[in-house]
Structure 1
Amino acid sequence: MIRLAALILALTTGFAAACQQVDHRGRAFTVCTADLAIQTIEMRLLGDDGLPLGSFATLEQQTDAPIVFAMNGGMYHPDRRPVGLYIEDGVRSKNIVTREGPGNFGLLPNGVFCVREGRADVIESRAFAADPPACTQATQSGPMLVIDGELHPRFLSNSASRKLRNGVGATPGGSTVHFVISDEPVTFHELATFYRDVLGLRDALFLDGSVSRLHDPSTGRSDGGRQMGPMIVVTER
């Protein structure tokens, strides 16, 4: 484990591997950071055969640029179609969902991770629907972890529900994006406070739980498991 001060120094000076391990409240997390000045963030779902890529191994085979890291990228149906808004390379294949519903996705407020030219943002879904930005890549998931500096109102500090979980948040200027995955089961509250208190972000979005997975070629880590739906891949420009 590295100390938090070392992480912050590494992230602000650029002398860091993309992914670093950090302890928070006695739990282990891995933070992977993308710099949009030198890297590209893309959504990926279907392969060359028109079927879902499903795994990091297939993603590697069908990605030309060097992969810095990749993660699962939002909730999906059993056939691996996205549950909510999905935009890949400027093409929208699923519209935004703003109604309350079952499961984590429908635990409002939920949100959208949106990548535009030179920046990325996490935006609450109803605010997004009211004034949609021109995203080139986007995925909708839920619930929001942090909304304008506040934790999601339904999170409990004493919750007994612990799972592997991952999320995404961007700095206010949108040039730096922090992807976080827990390395052990955590609560929503623990993941959300990591984004708010450790990374200091005002908006962050839950991507998924239990199926949370990381591909980090620099360390040889490539989590396996059941086939994934949307993936987020960060590559060198």
Structure 2
Amino acid sequence: MTRTEPVRLLAFLLGLFAAPVAVQAGACQTDRFDGARITWCTVDLAAEDMRLWLNDADAAPFGTFNRIDAALGARGERLGIAMNAGMYHQDRAPVGLYIEDGEEIAPIVTSKGPGNFGMLPNGVFCLQDGRAQVIESRAYAADPPACRFATQSGPMLVIDGALHPRFLPASESTYVRNGVGVRPGGRELVLAISDEPVNFHLFARFFRDHAGTPNALYLDGNVSRLYAPQLDRVDGGRPMGPVLGTVVPAG
């Protein structure tokens, strides 16, 4: 064996151990899943600060990623990655449960209703210290966990590894959609947005089969936006209601 061969062997072995890690926490990428382009980002909650935003200091809805980023900038912070975080009324107030910094702004809604939000089971995305959960809404109402931030939306995409029972593989109802899923243990979550119209069945399978999240929640399909400067992507459009994102130091 030559002097350089042990070094090459060590590099090879390190490469084998590193190979399965396709996406680092906080990183975003675009993949093709079942023929559809989907952009997704992973977040490690043990290492990253994730929050929800609705209103600014004057009690007016932020509405855009850039306004949130500007508000953070005044405090020496900036927006890392973000997306719209649930359905809202015309005045941009949340349709269902919304908690910000431990304060409940809007209550849980457990009744069946029209539209995607009311397609039970729907769910709650709950952020705690260093972990997150996606919980079916009625289960949440029966035993509410302590959430620092939370947003309700619907329908659930994946429920304990099973797709929502009303999703049809051949459905022709397609939209650009976005959602959030949580990996086992609750430390890692996935934010995803389709870059072309897809049906619920395909989008839910992406979360379960590609992103590895046994519980995932649909956020919207009429207003779906992503903020990912690392991809040179800052989606615009009509103003949003709740926004979910990470906070990083400025500079």
Is TM-score (shorter-chain normalized) higher than 0.5?
A: yes
SS at match of 1:76: coil
Measure, in 2, the Cα distance between the counterparts of 1:201 and 1:61. 32
Gaps of 5+ in 1: 1-5
Measure, in 2, the Cα distance between the counterparts of 1:114 and 1:91. 13
Measure, in 1, the Cα distance between the counterparts of 2:19 and 2:127. 24
Partner residue, 1:232 = 244
Partner residue, 1:218 = 230
Segment of structure 1 superposing worse, 74-83 or 215-224: 215-224
- Tell whether 2:83 aligns with 1:51: no
The percent identity for this pair of structures is 55
Gaps of 5+ in 2: 1-17
Partner residue, 1:18 = 27
SS at match of 1:195: helix
CA shift, 1:184, in A, is 0.6
CA shift, 1:235, in A, is 1.6
Runs of 4+ residues over 6 Å off in structure 1 = none
CA shift, 1:220, in A, is 2.1
Measure, in 2, the Cα distance between the counterparts of 1:212 and 1:133. 28
Task: Give CA deviations for 1:15-72 in whole Å, capped at 9, x if unaligned.
Answer: x762111110000001111111211111100012210000111111111423220100
Count of residue pairs the alignment pairs up = 229
CA shift, 1:125, in A, is 0.4
RMSD: 1.5
Measure, in 1, the Cα distance between the counterparts of 2:102 and 2:134. 17
State how 1:1-237 maps to structure 2 within 5 Å.
9-11=21-23, 14=24, 18-63=27-72, 64=75, 65-236=77-248
Segment of structure 1 superposing worse, 145-154 or 56-65: 56-65
Task: Give the TM-score normalised by structure 1.
Answer: 0.93
Measure, in 2, the Cα distance between the counterparts of 1:205 and 1:66. 26
SS at match of 1:218: helix
8 Å contact from structure 1 (residues 18, 68) kept in 2: no
8 Å contact from structure 2 (residues 121, 136) kept in 1: yes
8 Å contact from structure 1 (residues 170, 203) kept in 2: yes
Task: Give CA deviations for 1:124-156 in whole Å, capped at 9, x if unaligned.
Answer: 001111110000000000000001111000001
SS at match of 1:66: strand
Measure, in 2, the Cα distance between the counterparts of 1:145 and 1:128. 16
Partner residue, 1:3 = none
